[in-house]
């Protein structure tokens, strides 16, 4: 009898653990991991930060990237967000990042680093500047190739602030309704399995 009770307890614990794991995997699927090497040459992820995030993939030798800095400064002044400047070609040291920051007097609030090869591949980067706007939930609002005007970038920032999901980029984001449906299906299957188990157990006892 004690053995059966222990088995039942373990079954319930494992079932709950599975449901929690499955739900967390699905809910995190909407967040796009943007991993980079920071100025200290340590790995970090844009999704470790809160609020609206603006990721700018650039090269120090790119004239359009330099021109974009003035627009980014205006956006940074007018809106509460975190700006990431990610050099797409990683160097052995952080000297190029330091030089770029000092030469262009970038704000200390901006985060500068090297994007990883995985991040470059995920976004299929082949031109700079490329800008990615993420909302406070880590969902990609916009993927912008080439230099962006202030008015266009402002529109995307406002979409992120107001969660105007109809205007979000659909290439990198899963449909939230599908994720919710998947969670309900998993939970339903888990509950059904538990109920079935105890029904069978009760019938066997009789």
What pLDDT is attached to residue 170? 84
Q: Is 41 left (phi over 0), alpha (psi -120 to 50) or beta?
A: left
**pLDDT for 108:** 95
SS (H, E, C) 155-204: HHHHHHHHCCHHHCCCCCCCCHHHHHHHHHHHHHHHHHHHHHHHHHHHHH
Of the CA atoms within 13 Å of residue 11, those in its CB half-sphere come to 15
Rounded Cα gap, residues 143 and 172, in angstroms: 9
Please report the pLDDT score of residue 26 as a whole number.
42
- The structure tokens listed for 182 are 């998947």
In this prediction, residue 187 carries a pLDDT of 53
**Predicted pLDDT of residue 183:** 46
What was the pLDDT predicted at 102?
A: 97
pLDDT of the residue at 148:
96
**Residue-range domain boundaries for the chain:** 17-30+174-206, 35-167
Task: Count the Cβ atoms, other than its own, within 10 Å of residue 114.
Answer: 21
| Per-residue confidence in pLDDT tens, the chain, 206 aa | 555 555 555 555 555 555 454 444 444 444 578 999 999 999 999 999 999 999 999 999 999 999 999 999 999 999 999 999 999 999 999 999 999 999 999 999 999 999 999 999 999 998 999 999 999 999 999 999 999 999 999 999 999 999 999 999 888 765 444 444 444 555 565 666 655 666 656 666 66
Per-residue pLDDT, 90: 97
Specify whether domain 35-167 bears CATH 3.90.1150.10.
Answer: no
């Amino acid at each position: 009898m004690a053995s059966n009770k222990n088995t039942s307890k373990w079954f319930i614990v494992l079932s709950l653990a599975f449901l929690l794991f499955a739900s967390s995997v699905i809910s995190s699927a909407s967040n796009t991991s943007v991993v980079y090497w920071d100025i200290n040459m340590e790995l970090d992820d844009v999704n470790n930060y809160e609020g609206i995030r603006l990721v700018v993939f650039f090269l120090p030798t790119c004239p359009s990237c330099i021109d974009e800095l003035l627009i980014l400064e205006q956006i940074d002044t007018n809106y509460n967000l975190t700006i990431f400047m990610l050099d797409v070609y990683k160097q052995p040291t952080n000297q190029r990042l330091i030089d770029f920051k000092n030469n262009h007097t970038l704000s200390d609030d901006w985060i500068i680093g090297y994007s990883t090869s995985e991040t470059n591949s995920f976004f299929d980067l082949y031109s700079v500047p490329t800008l990615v706007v993420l909302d406070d939930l880590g969902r990609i609002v916009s993927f912008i190739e080439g230099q962006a005007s202030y008015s266009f970038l402002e529109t995307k920032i406002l979409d992120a602030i107001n969660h105007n999901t109809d205007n979000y980029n659909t290439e990198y984001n899963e449909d939230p309704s599908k994720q919710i449906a998947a969670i309900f299906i998993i939970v339903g299957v888990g509950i059904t399995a538990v109920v079935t188990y105890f029904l069978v157990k009760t019938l066997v006892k009789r």
